[in-house]
Amino acid sequence: MTIIPLSEGSFTIDKTKVFVPFDTTKEELNSRPIGSLLVEIQPFLIITAKDVILIDTGLGYNMSNGVPQIYYNLEKAGYNPSQITKVLMSHLHKDHAGGITTRNYNTGEQFIAFPYASYYVQRREFEFAMGIGSASYVQEDIAILEEFSKVVWLNEDQGIIDGYIQYQLTGAHSKYHQVFTITEGNETVFFGGDDAPQLQQMKSRFVAKYDFDGKKCMELRKQWWEEGKEKGWKYLFYHDISSPVFNHST
């Protein structure tokens, strides 16, 4: 497998749930409001023998010229957005799901960002996101999924996609959060979404207040860290500034 992090940059986020760009070369975290977290936003491109997979879709921001940033990042990596065959969604918080759709720069018309891909979305997460008012979800970014014919709704707590991608509903970071394990040959890649967003969190035991079930997150991270060490997994960390990919076999 080939793994390409598609970084959208560093941001801080506080209780307002607003993502504010942060320049790590010039700024200090203590200049931001108390309680601010420093995070990277980076979907992942995974190329396998069968597929060109996108895991989560980023913030959905556009460049100054109107081109979606995720399109720009894909093309910089040598891939056209039309080549994406599968989009795997861990959950639908706005920093992971903003790029599900994009807007025409001139007309403002909204459309699905990857029309040739199958989107794999946990049905209960979608219904929860559309049924509540929350600063973490932007309903207008995800509502189009209900009409898109290539959405594969995942209704079970766990299952297998196309024979080699495993999903597991955890309900840890968000109520219906899910994680993915992709296995091809002797190689296994694990994406824990916001249950396991940064390398340092895998190595320390703590309960985060921003998680739906912080204790469950903590226990799952311990479990995944030990299993990955035994089996030589590669981990993908969506919010890690310095270690987006970590190989536990080295």
Domains along the sequence of the chain with CATH: 2-247 (3.60.15.10)
What's the sign of the alpha-carbon dihedral 99, 12, 191, 135? Answer: negative
Pairing type for strands 110-112 and 20-21 reads unpaired
Confidence band (pLDDT; 50, 70, 90) for 249?
low
Reported as a single tens digit per residue, the pLDDT across 59-88 is: 998 888 888 999 999 999 999 999 999 999
Reported as a single tens digit per residue, the pLDDT across 11-62 is: 877 776 777 777 777 767 676 677 667 788 999 999 999 999 999 999 998 8
Burial grade of 219 (CB within 10 A; 0-12, 13-18, 19 or more): middle
The overall longest dimension of the chain from CA atoms, in Å, is 52
What is residue 133's predicted lDDT score, i.e. its pLDDT? 58
CA distance 123 to 175: 12
- Answering whether pTM is above 0.85, one says yes
Q: Which of 215, 100, 219 is nearest to 151 (CA)?
A: 100
Work out the average pLDDT over 120-126.
Answer: 96
Give the position of tokens 């975290």: 29
Residue pair 215/207 in contact (Cβ under 8 Å)? The answer is yes
